[in-house]
């Protein structure tokens, strides 16, 4: 049986329901707030240190999401305000010279299905809608134990790197980097 994890060089993330718990909070002045997991953020940092490329692909186009992308240093690979994720995937492939078999996508809702049904490794967060879970199962992908916004991205990244036999090395390098940094 083919190990789909071995081929992965790129991970595309949905935002709402994957990077966040899907809850939107609005203040009295219309300001928007969302929860992002710091563990997911660390997972993204470790993935980048391992040489994996991280993209965001979301229908949302807000300053809040772009600020999170900037904090994670992936703002140049953030596709915001996307109405058709399937077409966006095609453009992303061409622009970045990527191959579908090398891409993992983490999604949670039906607008993610056009991408989940094409990439090399389909991943659903634990609280994804049933239609997404069905596609992921049909394609031999996996469903995280953690929910969106609660460490699902970190779990997926850790699983990919462990399957590639690179997790321990990436963690050890990160620990060493921390020891070597000045305050």
In sign, the C-alpha dihedral spanning 41, 45, 51, 56 is positive
Pairwise CA distance, residues 36 & 138, whole Å: 29
Helices (H) and strands (E) in the chain, counts: 7, 8
Bridge partners (DSSP) of residue 107 are 124
Tell me the per-residue pLDDT of 63-111, one tens digit each, with 9 for 90 and over.
999 999 999 999 999 999 999 999 999 999 999 999 999 999 999 999 9
Torsions phi, psi for 20 (to 5 deg): -120, 170
Looking at the predicted structure, is the pLDDT value of residue 1 above 70?
no
In sign, the C-alpha dihedral spanning 16, 47, 151, 122 is positive
Closest CA to 147 of 18, 31, 2: 18
Tell me the per-residue pLDDT of 159-182, one tens digit each, with 9 for 90 and over.
999 999 999 999 999 999 888 876
Looking at the predicted structure, is the pLDDT value of residue 44 above 70?
yes
Q: Please tell me the pTM assigned to this model.
A: 0.94
Supply the pLDDT for residue 171. 94
Position with higher pLDDT, 183 vs 64: 64
Q: Identify the three-state secondary structure at position 21.
A: coil
CATH number, domain 4-180? 3.40.50.1000
Closest CA to 70 of 113, 150, 179, 62: 62
**Domain regions of the chain by residue span:** 4-180
81: number of Cβ within 10 Å = 11
Please compute Rg for the chain using Cα positions.
16
Closest CA to 139 of 107, 162, 96: 107
Lowest mean pLDDT among 12-21, 144-153, 157-166, 173-182: 173-182
Angle at 85 between CA 80 and CA 90, to 5 degrees: 105
């Amino acid at each position: 049986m083919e190990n789909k994890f071995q081929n992965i060089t790129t991970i595309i993330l949905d935002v709402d329901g994957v990077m966040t718990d899907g809850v939107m909070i609005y203040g009295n002045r219309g300001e928007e707030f969302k929860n992002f997991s710091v563990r997911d953020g660390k997972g993204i940092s470790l993935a980048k240190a391992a040489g994996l490329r991280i993209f965001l692909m979301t229908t949302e186009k807000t300053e809040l999401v772009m600020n999170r992308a900037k904090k994670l240093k992936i703002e140049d690979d953030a596709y915001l305000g996307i109405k058709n994720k399937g077409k966006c995937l095609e453009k992303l492939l061409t622009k970045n010279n990527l191959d579908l078999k090398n891409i993992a996508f983490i999604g949670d809702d039906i607008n993610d299905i056009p991408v989940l049904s094409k990439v090399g490794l389909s991943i659903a967060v634990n609280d994804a809608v049933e239609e997404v879970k069905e596609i992921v199962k049909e394609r031999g992908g996996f469903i995280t134990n953690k929910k969106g916004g609660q460490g699902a991205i970190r779990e997926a990244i850790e699983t990919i790197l462990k399957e590639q036999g690179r997790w321990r090395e990436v963690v050890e390098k990160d620990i060493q980097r921390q020891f070597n940094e000045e305050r």
